[in-house]
Structure 1
Amino acid sequence: MLHAKGTLCTIDVDDRSIRTESIEDELSEFVGGRGVATKLAHDRIPFDADPYGSENRLYFSTGPLQQSRMSFTGRMNCTALSPLTDGVASANAGGYLSRNFVGTGHSVVELTGASDELLAVHVTDDGVEFEEVPELEDATVPEVTAVMNERHGLESENLATIGPAGEHGVRFACVMTYDSRAFGRGGLGAVMGSKNVKCITFQGDSAPDVELPSEDTQSAVHREAATSDHIMRRQGTTNSIEFINDNFSLPTRYFSEQSFEHAEDIGGDAVEEKKYEKASCSVCAFACKLPTRDEETGVETEGPELETVFSFGSNCGIGELVEIMRSNELCDRLGMDTISCGNVVAAYLDSEAEFGNAELVHDIVEKIAFREGEGDLLAEGVARAHDELGVENFSVKGMEFAAHDGRAINGQGLSYAVSNRGADHMYSTTLGDEYGGDVDPQGTAGKAGLVIENENRNAFRDSGVICQFGVGRAVEGERFEALFDADYDDLLEIGARIVELERHFRNQRGHAGEEDRLPYEIPDLESSIEEYYELRGWNEDGTVPSGAVAEYAQAD
């Protein structure tokens, strides 16, 4: 089976020691990306670790396809114990970082410990250097890029950076790369901030040898990306805003409504009008990114994508695209997940009866990043702030909801409930089956198996690492097999192990099935959750049976 090559580089920023070791066994079993990082996190982070503590570990990892020249592979993975969800969480980001990372010769870089001084950590194929950067305290992401470029000739594509939000421990802080691409969900930027690392850079020309898929297979994927006339190439994910709105699955005014009267003003056509050039990720011909600019105000950003349009648009009651662009740009500069940030701002607007107040939104976003005033409470996220705000807790396992409302597409609701990552739409993407008409969106009965297959496929996809927008278009079942030289069922089994390791880690931290719940009712949810456990081979309380992970993980 195709898998990543390269060493594990462990960087202890406390004593500034470096250790390099082979992890060939782990790579051959878990391929790379999310899979190998989850395996390492499960085995090496103490089950009782504090997410903000020095014993937590932050992993950057790639898969084997980051050494190809194939479209949909310009991404990499980041994993840690999440301060938002209290479990192992992974996020992946696009841009141009992954190929620079591969050039260092490592397949995984692990940060542990905590530095007394704010650091930039430079990883190359010649070694690791530590640079004390106290002058970058509270610097924005673009400001860090400018300094690293001036001092070292490093570009945004070499950097993984946190903004002020990460330094101040905002529970949904991002790690940013290429200035506008985010390792978005789960608060991984806060973990990096707790280690007092402002940025980590990657550069080198020592990519390990990987026996890549055939040129025919790679060319076929690349050709389909280049010739596709899919609307996403013009409008990104915002192309579906009005469709989702029409199907009553666009949460509005902090989830009090399910459609927004100004959806057309902030949808795909409106975003396309602001788009001023094409943009992509590394070697990808699909080019679905959205550099946008408003000529009248001068506001410029990349995006907003669908989830940001929902979180800072409909859910905040804001129907002016330029104001959403401004929120998007603020979150990128300050280093925050736009989904969680927009949701917690919407909760605050609800508590203050201020829906539609864009000026207040932008003020609150900045306060959250620096934990100033009411921003200190909101930086904790919806699950920890809702009581004091006097609003409902629209989150699962501490993670705020994505746009696709489970009250309208019930299989997606089921997937939110059981996901180890909480209310994240990318964990199972059952929404695609329901929006596409393959599955009746009403009810959850009989959908547990579909949720499981999607979870397993996506866990493997994130180990490859392959972009979601390639999967289901240019990269489907048979092509998965060709790319990785393995049977599709075997690839799904790897995904199942990843999901099980995540669940086992949560269980060891005291979390069980009582957290597999939603803040609203949908048909047959309880029986469908029971079926999910049964099909997974888990206990009735949603825990992984004792010894179940012993074959492929350190279990205790």
Structure 2
Amino acid sequence: MLTIDVGDRTTSETEIESIHREYLGGRGLATRLAHERIPFDVDPFDPANRLFFTTGPMQASTMSFTGRMNCTGVSPLTDGLLSSNAGGFMSRNFTAAGYGAVEIAGASDELLVIHVRDDGVTFEPVPELEDATVSGTLSYLEDEHGVTSDQTAVIGPAGEREVRFASIMTSEERAFGRGGLGAVLGSKNVKAVTFDGDSDIDLAGEISATQGEIHREAATDDHIMKEQGTVAVMDLANEVEGLPSYYFSEQQFEGVEGINGAAVADKKYKKGTCSACAFACKLPTRDEEAGVETEGPEFEVAMAFGSNSGIDDIVEVMKSNRLCDEYGLDAISAGNTVAAYLAAEDEFGNADLIHDLVEKIAYREGVGDDLAEGIDRVHEDLGVDNWTVKGMDFAAHEGRVLHGQGLSYAVANRGADHMYATFYSVEYPLVPEEDALEPTGTLGKADRLVQRENLMALNDSGVVCKFSRDYMTPERYEQLFDADFEELLAVGARTVTLERHFNNQRGFDRADDDLPYDLPDFEEALEEYYDVRGWDDGVVPEDAVPYAGEA
């Protein structure tokens, strides 16, 4: 691990092999390091908060579904320990710099770019980049240093102004999005971090055959996500009355055809992918008449800036998506927060107002200064319901219809985030019939929910994309990681437990595992979940903290 203290501009290295063995890499590794090295009572914007960029062993491979990496810190949105995951092309450039983890600590007295190379670290003061957009910063780095967007983690003005849902952008349009870690980087006065080098990592074990099989299947499979991305599920969600609309007041949207998968596919002009991935499920889109070009929008963004904001025109959603990428905002939280304002002002469907609000949030101007705090902190002033869990606003998969997904939102350490367990996939269902569950009811789902949470934490530690679900079998996990599948799931269990324990020390307990709506047998289902986890009323017993050695 490379530690960079931006306050005194020093670096140090720490051997972390023993932790790698227990937590693989990615989210697991970063959670373990954060649990030891971040004070439990830290304010998210205090210099004592730290950010951990981490990859996993699969980033040293060339297999599909492995072009992702992790960032972890205490979230200014949820006030808990949180990990965010980004795709694109940075992970292998990060790996080439020679580190399994890069820790950023302290706070600089002037705006910096940090250049991480396998032969050293340099600190570059960049006062001229104050308030620069993401693309403006990337242009500077390429012109001055020959550094590409695929080598860079960068914040926009939203991060500099500590918007609580500011993102860290990479590969120009990919985001460490949910949870506001861009604001943490901004609080440290770091505009960008670049990675480069020629380091090579040897993988143990014979895994090339399994890699080849997965890569070939990803390339040849005729999957709808290759054409429509995640927004392919929107028509199904709308059909089952599970599409949040008009700031969560309705569950169907009459204008769905204007923002659904077909609408996005109509604007797609080329294939898009992440590093080494043949699945190519990304959606580069453009509308020449409107002069807008972006990537996506994905389903969550099409909900937040579309149905939830009363917008039935995919081009207007594309404009919102592009603005969020430029300013460095989590497009899901930005869209939902804008939708809350539209509800308060009876302005659903006002696209010009929406775009204006996105800019005002990014620069904390006027009403944007309040909205930049997020729904949990501003809903009372707006006079709207608080559609959040642990401060995190809801994703698109509707827990009022998919009850196991609703339970997942309630218990997830990250709040109302769909990717923490991806439980929606077994309730729509998007999995084979033999693996599916009835969407109604919460009882009897705890075992499956815990298994899903552990598996997703394993993927985030590997690091393996969660959209590999049709290709990654237990046998393939064992072949790729040279370990028993149950041992691998235990990595996920340790990670989830450490996250929960950290947040317990910050005051999180059963009261935070709640929803703004009722589900059948919810309290009993919570008990089932706690029993499976071995927690007491949402709190990890001290003798159950899975610590493994010293860093």
Instruction: Give the TM-score category using the shorter length.
Output: over 0.9
**Alpha-carbon distance in structure 2 between the residues aligned to 1:198 and 1:255:** 35
1:9 corresponds to 2:9: no
1:518 corresponds to 2:518: no
Which of 156, 162, 177 pairs up with 1:169? Answer: 162
- Counterpart residue number, 1:57: 50
Displacement, 1:208? 2.8
Residue type of the alignment partner of 1:390: G
- Counterpart residue number, 2:298: 305
For structure 1, the residue ranges without an aligned partner over 5 or more in a row are 1-7
Alignment of 1:307-346 (within 5 A): 307-346=300-339
**Alignment CA distance shift 1:127-1:264 (3 Å):** same
For structure 2, the residue ranges without an aligned partner over 5 or more in a row are none
Displacement, 1:554? 7.6
- Counterpart residue number, 2:193: 200
The two structures, once aligned, show a CA RMSD in angstroms of 1.1
- Counterpart residue number, 1:392: 385
The alignment partner of 2:48 has SS state of: coil
Which of 248, 266, 269 pairs up with 1:276? Answer: 269
Alignment of 1:181-196 (within 5 A): 181-196=174-189
Alignment of 1:98-247 (within 5 A): 98-211=91-204, 213-247=206-240
**Alpha-carbon distance in structure 2 between the residues aligned to 1:480 and 1:294:** 41
**Alpha-carbon distance in structure 1 between the residues aligned to 2:549 and 2:74:** 17
Displacement, 1:177? 0.2
**Alpha-carbon distance in structure 1 between the residues aligned to 2:487 and 2:403:** 29
Residue type of the alignment partner of 2:479: A
**Alignment CA distance shift 1:212-1:167 (3 Å):** farther
**Alpha-carbon distance in structure 2 between the residues aligned to 1:379 and 1:41:** 26
The alignment partner of 1:469 has SS state of: helix
**Alignment CA distance shift 1:84-1:122 (3 Å):** same
Which of 57, 72, 87 pairs up with 2:80? Answer: 87
Displacement, 1:121? 0.1
State the Cα deviation string for residues 206-265 of structure 1 (Å, max 9, x = none).
123222552111100100110010010111111111111101111000000001001111
**Alpha-carbon distance in structure 2 between the residues aligned to 1:209 and 1:35:** 21
- Normalising by structure 2, we get a TM-score of 0.98
Alignment of 1:245-256 (within 5 A): 245-256=238-249
Q: Give identity over the alignment, percent.
A: 60
**Alpha-carbon distance in structure 1 between the residues aligned to 2:63 and 2:116:** 25
1:174–1:337 CA contact under 8 A, matched in 2: yes
1:498 corresponds to 2:495: yes
**Farther-moved stretch of structure 1 (541-550 vs 274-283):** 541-550
The alignment partner of 2:503 has SS state of: helix
Displacement, 1:553? 6.9
- Counterpart residue number, 1:465: 463
Alignment of 1:328-407 (within 5 A): 328-407=321-400
- Counterpart residue number, 1:546: 542
The alignment partner of 2:275 has SS state of: coil
Which of 524, 527, 530 pairs up with 2:524? Answer: 527
Alignment of 1:417-436 (within 5 A): 417-436=410-429
1:65–1:212 CA contact under 8 A, matched in 2: no
- Normalising by structure 1, we get a TM-score of 0.97
**Alpha-carbon distance in structure 2 between the residues aligned to 1:212 and 1:120:** 38
State the Cα deviation string for residues 393-426 of structure 1 (Å, max 9, x = none).
0000000100011001000000000000000000
Which of 520, 533, 536 pairs up with 2:533? Answer: 536
Which of 36, 44, 49 pairs up with 2:37? Answer: 44
Displacement, 1:552? 2.9
Displacement, 1:478? 1.4
- Counterpart residue number, 1:447: 445
**Alpha-carbon distance in structure 2 between the residues aligned to 1:213 and 1:174:** 37
State the Cα deviation string for residues 267-300 of structure 1 (Å, max 9, x = none).
1111111000111111111111111001211111
1:213–1:484 CA contact under 8 A, matched in 2: no
1:507 corresponds to 2:500: no
1:57–1:111 CA contact under 8 A, matched in 2: yes
1:166–1:192 CA contact under 8 A, matched in 2: yes
The count of residues paired between Structure 1 and Structure 2 equals 546
**Alignment CA distance shift 1:548-1:363 (3 Å):** same
Residue type of the alignment partner of 1:464: G
